[in-house]
Structure 1
Amino acid sequence: MPAKSLAATVAATLFAMPALAQSNLEKLGEFKQTGVTEFQFVEQGGDNAAAIRETLKRIKLPAGFKIELYAIVPDARHMAVGPQGIVTFVGTRKTDVWSVTDRNKDRVADEVKRFAPSIEFAIPNGPCFSTDGFLYIAEQNRVLVYPAAEFFYESPDVAAFNVVPKGELIPVEEESYNHTARVCVIGPDDKLYITIGQPFNVFAPEKMDLYTQKGIGGIIRMNRDGSGREVYSYGVRNSVGLDINPANGELWFTDNQVDGMGDDIPPGELNRQTAKGQHFGFPWYGGGDTRTNEYADSEPPADTVFPAVDMVAHAADLGMHFYTGKMFPAQYRGGIFSAQHGSWNRTTPVGARVMFTAVNEDGSAGESRPFAEGWIDENGEYLGRPVDVKQLRDGSLLVSDDLAGAIYRISYSGE
């Protein structure tokens, strides 16, 4: 572990714990058994799988691509593909994290089971991996690390340690039921980046100092052991998707805009960050360059960074991923695949699709266009709501869907 040895992490964790009856997390940190022996498994066939496959027949893709059901995963949100290619971990906005395994490598999951059943999770939406195999899971108000998740996931007891203890990611009094889905990524600086959405549509001015200090409504950065925490990005309403451009190390992220301003404003955002401390406009701007009513009489930051791409209003842009594979044609390499979850309060629903945004040689955004769509039917009903996009080692894409409770695989054959 780069920041500390595993032994040092264990010692620090134990030293900080009160002298009470051991919790399961404490036991796991000492490599002790918890007594939990049962897994929850998810059935992969049956009528539900058949209905999802029927829906997938209506999804439109560019020529040569196809989409198939990869796994039934209840409430599937953000994903982390293990560096060894053994297992994919899938977060939820509820209390479960799922491990998804394709044992025979036929590109269809053979097994989906609850990960770490001896641990109680609270909105474990955001898993992410380091290149050396450490799994991090950002919960509503905690971050845990699993140093050998691809090995230990076969057991109900999984080596686990605090990175940010429960109640310390944000002040407990700021916990909310709204905008609680965190996501994370490990940067080229070997630091952990975590999004922290602010809980309001537009927060009141009296919250400004606290939120600025804690990084609420922003993106924070810290060492992988939790030390050295700092605010990396400001003026972010509710980001639920981020990735690093492998070509130059820049951070990109999606952001969800202010509601209640109309069907067609403000735009959703795909943002490019080129330096620490940049401000992306919220709460003065509700999305793009659209000013909010609440801060119309207040001067916005002079150095506001506007979106690299204005997305369609209220499409709810969430997970994103820079494509580095070789399966897809050359025009997709180095570009961004991103998921639009779909609008919840627009008169005519929009979104529920996967977008592709080209990235130019100078690092700027090129054209953004739909890549996979068709999850809204002729009646305006959602048949699925994409959340996240991740790449398998073979260069195919996984797309999670928390409405259908599924993960899809998009591949290219050129036929």
Structure 2
Amino acid sequence: MVRSIFTTVAATLFATTALAQAPVPDNLEKLSNFQSTGVTDFTVIEQGGKKADNLRAILENITLPEGFKIELYAIVPDARHMTVGPQGIVTFVGTRKTKVWAVTDRDKDRVADEVKDFAPSLAFTIPNGPCFSPDGFLYIAEQNRVLVFPAAEFFYESPDVAAFNVVKQGDLIPASEESFNHTARVCKIGPDGKLYITLGQPFNVPAEDKLDLYKKYGIGGIVRLNTDGTGREVYTTGVRNSVGMDFDPDTGDLWFTDNQVDGMGDDIPPGELNHQTAAGQNFGFPWYGGGSIRTNEYKGEEPPADAVMPAVEMTAHAADLGMEFYNGSMFPNEYKGAIFSAQHGSWNRTTPVGARIMVTTIDEEGTAVSKPFAEGWLTKSGEYLGRPVDIAELRDGSILVSDDLAGAIYRISYGE
């Protein structure tokens, strides 16, 4: 009964993410054959004016460690997960709607000059997760498809860009499991050259009769596959909804965030930052709702004996999303190899929490400790001035922060 009520409420709350727009014809077959589609128009986003002034005013509320500053980098509607091209020419930004944005700083003044939609001749469905391979191939993980653009960084100026299926529409998850909830994918290329994709499961806590199906497809986990789409395997299980991952540049280990169970109270269960050291590890969901807190639905069942507990327990309901290991040289040495991560902010907590950037340092013994790095998007009265989603590092060592509430990307720099 509780699950049924929660599902109904969640459906009402999250239904607003759907777009009421006329469908765009899917020209993938033409683009795969290097044919023109006839599409000529871009959607270009104005970068100045009152909106930019208002966003800069909001940033005056953000507190950072001494020596750091935050500035408006770009106005990008619904900005979610980001990936910076290997050449540093363009940053691609996903959304939970139908657009992928191309953000360009042509004069290198560290403020974007141009924001326009990428591949407007294609029909995207929740293209939340863009990621680049080291050799410049752009992958976009959608709700139920994965595409690759072999030369996106150099040919994004045209509405038509060569595009190919990695995972065909309907083959990432069974069509019966497509959902408006927990369906924002993220992707990364691992040190093994394989493509990793998070697959959130759609429920607060899934019914037991879903578990075998989800285990088979890696729903509620992370899958990896060759970059041509072959060799798919379930790499991670026991995950509720991960919307952020990265690989430790020193060890090659996978780290990822996980959003934990709602409806158990304001202060439990904790959010998670997880550390995976081997393929096939189980991180405890749905037996555990977050950390060592058992879910009501599975409290009478024996949890997996090998369930891996989180490396860091984060603030309950803060909604930890995108994360990135810091590899740059701009920030002080204490941040080298640290994890910067975004807390999107709570949606159903009595007193809101989150809406900030966290930094996690890892010592020589592997112990991870997290603390706030950038705060101020959540006011003392509980109003959200922004909701951070993801972190990306620019070539100069500064970092970008996306914000899907304000529709913006910010740049954090040091010593400038």
TM-score (structure 1 length as normaliser): 0.94
Letter in 1 for 2:276: Q
| 2:214 partner SS | helix
CA distance in 2, matches of 1:30, 1:304: 46
Is the aligned partner of 1:349 residue 2:363? no
How many residue pairs get matched?
A: 392
Which runs of no fewer than 5 residues in structure 2 stay unpaired? Answer: 1-24
CA distance in 2, matches of 1:346, 1:326: 38
Alignment of 1:127-166 (within 5 A): 127-166=130-169
Match of residue 81 from structure 2: 78
| 2:262 partner SS | coil
Is the aligned partner of 1:40 residue 2:43? yes
TM-score (structure 2 length as normaliser): 0.93
Alignment of 1:187-206 (within 5 A): 187-206=190-209
- Equivalent residue for 1:226, pick from 225, 229, 243: 229
Does the 8 A contact of 2:273 with 2:311 survive in 1? yes
Match of residue 392 from structure 1: 394
Match of residue 368 from structure 1: 370
| 2:397 partner SS | coil
Letter in 1 for 2:252: G
Alignment of 1:178-217 (within 5 A): 178-217=181-220
Letter in 2 for 1:403: L
**What is the root-mean-square deviation of aligned Cα atoms in Å?**
0.9
CA distance in 2, matches of 1:23, 1:52: 35
Match of residue 18 from structure 2: none
Deviations 1:92-139 (A, max 9, x none): 000000000000000000000000000000000000000000000000
Kindly state the Cα deviation for residue 379 of structure 1 after the two structures are TM-superposed.
1.6
CA distance in 1, matches of 2:143, 2:225: 17
Letter in 1 for 2:394: L
Match of residue 9 from structure 2: none
CA distance in 2, matches of 1:360, 1:125: 32
| 1:52 partner SS | helix
Is the aligned partner of 1:267 residue 2:234? no
Kindly state the Cα deviation for residue 359 of structure 1 after the two structures are TM-superposed.
1.4
Does the 8 A contact of 2:26 with 2:122 survive in 1? no
Kindly state the Cα deviation for residue 23 of structure 1 after the two structures are TM-superposed.
5.3
CA distance in 1, matches of 2:388, 2:150: 29
CA distance in 1, matches of 2:338, 2:149: 30
Letter in 2 for 1:84: Q
CA distance in 1, matches of 2:367, 2:57: 35
Match of residue 100 from structure 1: 103
| 2:28 partner SS | helix
Match of residue 14 from structure 2: none
CA distance in 1, matches of 2:215, 2:140: 23
- Equivalent residue for 1:90, pick from 90, 93, 111: 93
Structure 1 residue ranges (4+ consecutive) displaced by more than 3 angstroms after TM superposition: none
CA distance in 2, matches of 1:120, 1:309: 38
- Percent sequence identity over aligned pairs: 75
| 1:407 partner SS | strand
Distance of aligned partners of 1:173 and 1:371 in 2 relative to their CA distance in 1, 3 Å threshold: same
Which runs of no fewer than 5 residues in structure 1 stay unpaired? Answer: 1-21
Does the 8 A contact of 1:357 with 1:365 survive in 2? no
| 1:151 partner SS | helix
Of residues 155-164 and 405-414 in structure 1, the stretch that sits farther from structure 2 once superposed is 405-414
Deviations 1:280-338 (A, max 9, x none): 00000000000000000110000000000000000000000000000000000001000
Does the 8 A contact of 2:260 with 2:272 survive in 1? yes
Is the aligned partner of 1:276 residue 2:279? yes
CA distance in 2, matches of 1:339, 1:302: 31
Match of residue 66 from structure 2: 63
Letter in 2 for 1:101: T
Does the 8 A contact of 1:288 with 1:307 survive in 2? yes
| 1:302 partner SS | coil
